[in-house]
Amino acid sequence: MEATYQALIQRFLEIKKDELLSKHTTLMIGGQADLFWECRDVRKLPEFLDHLKKLSLKFFILGGGSNVLFDSRGFRGCVIKIVDNSFEFDDDNLIAASGTRMTILAKMTMQQGLSGLEWANGIPGTIGGAVFGNAGCHGQDISRNLSKAVLYSPNKGIFEAEKGYFQFSYRHSILKTSQDIVLKAYLKLQKKAVNFEQSQQAVSFRNDKQPFGLSSGSFFKNSLNDSAGRLIEAVGLKGCQIGQAQISPKHANFFMNLGGATSDDILALRDLAKQKVAEKFHINLEEEVVIVDC
């Protein structure tokens, strides 16, 4: 395996070995990745992925580092962090590379006098991750804005996909079960008065309702008729701690790293929350966070 890694490093000199993944996530949990590559230009990503395929190397695509839990034992393969944050406007359309932060896009569209992304102000992730998980808040999500995207698949190569291709639903897209990777997203906006009040309310809501500290964001999806946070609080787990991981005393759907928490600590809290909620309410909580095995 070492010879395989060296062959790839010689081709792509920017690759790092044994990179600590905790440095690249908002939860700050994760051991070393065998290989780590920052993609600064999404046009280079297909070539890189083709090399990984030829070498039979496992990989994981990382965006802003929220909504993800890496194993404390690390990752046996290559983690690719997309940091290409280029974007451009074409009339009332926004074309953004998948590594562009959502909060930057929200602010820039408002500066351009375009409406439609006010709700996304303060969201920590990237547009690629937002499309992957159909990110949203306050009753809105990225599926309302997306018109199409440029994708890459190891089997299909580079192709354009219209909105219907993604089969969006609550915090879900087809990308969660396909091998397609977002290179660029096309967002449709409106030439109308920007709702600055809505944008500020989005930021204020996060500051008022969500805990500060190390977390991955909302851990579970809300159930059909109730919020995951209320269900976890109702079974008495708000503030519960295992090791250095804690269910936030402020919002029970946020799992916090108090400093030194491991992935096993977080997963033990997850299992406890799922068990208690299932026992009391007969509801199976579903993770919103992507859990990456070693």
CATH number at residue 107: 3.30.465.10
Please tell me the predicted confidence (pLDDT) of residue 2.
77
Residue 46 has pLDDT above 90, yes or no: yes
Considering the domain architecture, whether residues 228 and 280 belong to the same structural domain is answered as yes
Q: Is residue 244 part of a domain?
A: yes
Spatial separation of the C-alpha atoms in residues 126 and 106, rounded to whole Å = 11
pTM (2 d.p.): 0.92
Task: Give the C-alpha separation, 83 to 166, whole Å.
Answer: 23
Query: What was the pLDDT predicted at 277?
Result: 98
Question: Could you tell me if residue 241 is inside a domain?
Answer: yes
> In b/e form, how buried is each residue of 205-236, taking b as 16+ CB within 10 angstroms?
ebeeebeebbbbbbbbbbbeeebbbebbbebe
Is residue 75 located within the same domain as residue 102?
Answer: no
Query: How many residues are present in the chain?
Result: 294
For the chain, what is the domain count? Answer: 3
Alpha-carbon torsion (66, 70, 74, 80), positive or negative: negative
- Does residue 288 have an active-site annotation? yes
Closest-CA residue to 75 (of 38, 15, 22): 22
Does the residue 200 lie in any domain?
A: no
pLDDT at 132: 96
Asked whether the CA dihedral 272, 278, 283, 286 is positive or negative, the reply is positive
- Of 153, 188, 223, the one marking the end of a domain is 188
Cα 54 → chain centroid: 27
Residue 205's pLDDT band, with cuts at 50, 70 and 90, is low
Lowest mean pLDDT among 26-40, 165-179, 203-217: 203-217
Last residue of a domain, one of 188, 221, 242: 188
Catalytic residue (one of 171, 215, 216, 263): 171
Contact call for residues 203 and 122 (beta carbons, < 8 A): yes
118 within domain boundaries: yes
8 Å CB contact between 68 and 216: yes
Q: Is the pLDDT of residue 28 over 90?
A: yes
Clarify whether residues 119 and 181 are in a common domain: yes
Mean local confidence (pLDDT), 160-165: 98
Domain of 238: which CATH number?
3.90.78.10
Tell me if 202 is assigned to some domain. Answer: no
Confirm whether 194 is domain-assigned.
Answer: no
Mark whether 12 and 55 lie in a shared domain.
yes
Could you confirm whether 218 is annotated as catalytic? Answer: yes
Please confirm, yes or no, whether 171 is among the known catalytic residues. Answer: yes
**Token couple for 119:** 């709700």
Question: Residue 234: in which H helix or E strand, if any?
Answer: helix 228-234
State pLDDT tens for residues 57-74: 999 999 999 999 999 999
- pLDDT greater than 70 at residue 209: yes
- The answer on 179 and 106 residing in a single domain is yes
Percent of the chain with pLDDT over 90: 81
User: What is the band of 154 on the pLDDT scale with cuts at 50, 70, 90?
Assistant: confident
Q: How confident is the model at residue 124 (pLDDT cuts 50, 70, 90)?
A: confident
pLDDT in tens, 67-100: 999 999 999 999 999 999 999 999 999 999 999 9
Same domain for 100 and 153: yes
In this predicted structure, what is the pLDDT of residue 95?
98
Given 64, 82, 100, the domain boundary residue is 82
State the CATH number of the domain containing residue 27.
3.30.43.10
Collapsing DSSP states into helix, strand and coil, what is residue 21?
A: helix
Give the least confident one: 85-89, 97-101, 192-196, 279-283: 192-196
Residues 64 and 93 in one domain: no
Same domain, 70 and 99: no
Provide the pLDDT for residue 61: 97
Question: Is 154 among the domain residues?
Answer: yes
CA 168 vs CA 13, 141, 144, 173, 228: distances in Å: 37, 10, 10, 5, 21
Both 92 and 178 in one domain: the answer is: yes
- 13 vs 154, higher pLDDT: 154
Residues 167, 91, single domain; the answer is yes
Give the domain extent around 280. Answer: 213-292
Confirm whether 138 is domain-assigned.
yes
